[in-house]
Amino acid sequence: MPNWGGGNKCASCRGTVYHAEEVQCDGLSFHKCCFLCLVCRKGLDSTTLAIHDQEIYCKSCYGKKYGPKGYGYGQGAGTLNMDRGERLGIKQPQTQSHRPTTNPNPSKFAQKFGGSEKCSRCGDSVYAAERIMGAGKPWHKNCFRCAKCGKSLESTTQTEKEGEIYCKACYAKNFGPKGFGYGQGAGALVHAQ
């Protein structure tokens, strides 16, 4: 039976798509104005399109939702991306609370014959590929964070007090000098009691 009312149905809005406004993708028809990423609503074309189960995404949102996760999967050379994909429905595992340990390594035998050291923050095994040394103790890369604010640290930005590591700002705020003339910024005068 002929279709007298127009063209195909839009896969996005289910309205009729006429030939002049039609974009076809993977056997589906779309209005030009409906050919948008399902998440960020950016307009798509053949170079930015990624398809998953008849859903269309831009390559960036597709990568965040369905791409590989973990260390080393950034958005480009030298990029650190803090977007965890919560707006895409990706649930993040809950992080463990801070558990400092005083025993960084169970035995000299384990050190000498390849046993792993224990992370000073979480207490789990730290292998050579993921180990960072700070305050004379081993840490996982993900555990090498300020004990107060959780900011990721480097050897040049960490300070240590009583076996725990802090960023320089938290260390100064919590353990630095207090009183008249020791404010938080240039020219600030604060009287702490």
The pLDDT of residue 1 is 47
Tell if the pTM clears 0.85, that is, is over it. Answer: no
Q: In whole angstroms, what is the distance from residue 61 CA to residue 36 CA?
A: 12
Residue 103 within any structural domain of the chain: no
pLDDT of residue 98: 53
| Last-in-domain residue among 69, 103, 120 | 69
106 within some domain: no
CATH of the domain at 29: 2.10.110.10
- Contact between 191 and 179 under an 8 Å Cβ cutoff? The reply is yes
Domain with 12 in it: 7-69
* Residue 76 forms part of a structural domain: no
Does residue 20 form part of some domain? yes
Residue 144, burial from CB neighbour count under 10 angstroms (0-12, 13-18, 19+)? buried
Distance of CA 116 to the CA centre of its chain: 27
Distance separating alpha carbons of residues 131 and 134, to the nearest angstrom:
10
Total residues found in the chain within this entry:
193
As given in the structure block, the two tokens for residue 107 are 């035995």
Low-confidence ranges of the chain (pLDDT < 50): 1, 104-105, 109-110, 113
Tell me, yes or no, whether 141 lies in a domain: yes
19-49 pLDDT per residue, tens:
888 888 888 888 889 999 988 989 888 788 8
Instruction: Provide the number of structural domains found in the chain.
Output: 2
Q: What is the pLDDT of residue 72?
A: 53
